[in-house]
Amino acid sequence: MSVKLHRCSNLWVRIGGHPCWRVQRELDAAGVDYEVVKGPVRRSSRAALVALSGQRLYPVIEFEDGSVYRDQSAAMVERIRSGKLLEGRLASAAAEAGSGEAKERPAQS
């Protein structure tokens, strides 16, 4: 299952305190399949982000079912690290596919 990482366009900033980078780095470390969607730098140009997530800050994770996840980046890192990012979504994806196999599978295994 793939997700979209909506993030700022400062892709070159790779320092620990940078919210978008720390979340992207954690997705990499967890082996989560994701696509980067770069957003505009200026807050005033973030209508699409507001429509998607109801707020103006990055990063935001969009799941395949269209739902979104946004929290403080430190909390996002923790959720990814704990393997719970996709929790609930593997089971529903399996149910849709008619197999049910993923229900007992830990997220991101």
Ligand X SMILES: N[C@@H](CCC(=O)N[C@@H](CS)C(=O)NCC(=O)O)C(=O)O
Nearer to ligand X, 16 or 98 (CB): 16
Residue 53 as a binder of ligand X (CB under 6 A): the answer is no
Quick one: DSSP state of residue 52? H
Six token digits for residue 106:
């830990």
Q: Which residue is nearest to ligand X (CB)?
A: 73
> In the window 10-39, what residues touch ligand X (CB under 6 A)?
18-20
Of the candidates 98, 99, 85, 76, which has an alpha carbon nearest to the alpha carbon of residue 2?
A: 85
Nearer to ligand X, 32 or 90 (CB): 32
Torsion of CA 30, 102, 87, 76, to 10 degrees: 10
> In the window 79-98, what residues touch ligand X (CB under 6 A)?
none
38: helix, coil or strand? strand
- Give the dihedral sign, CA 60/14/82/29: positive
Among positions 43, 81, 84, 105, the unique one binding ligand X when judged by CB under 6 A: 43
Nearer to ligand X, 5 or 90 (CB): 5
The residue ranges that bind ligand X (CB under 6 A) are: 8, 18-20, 43, 57-58, 72-73
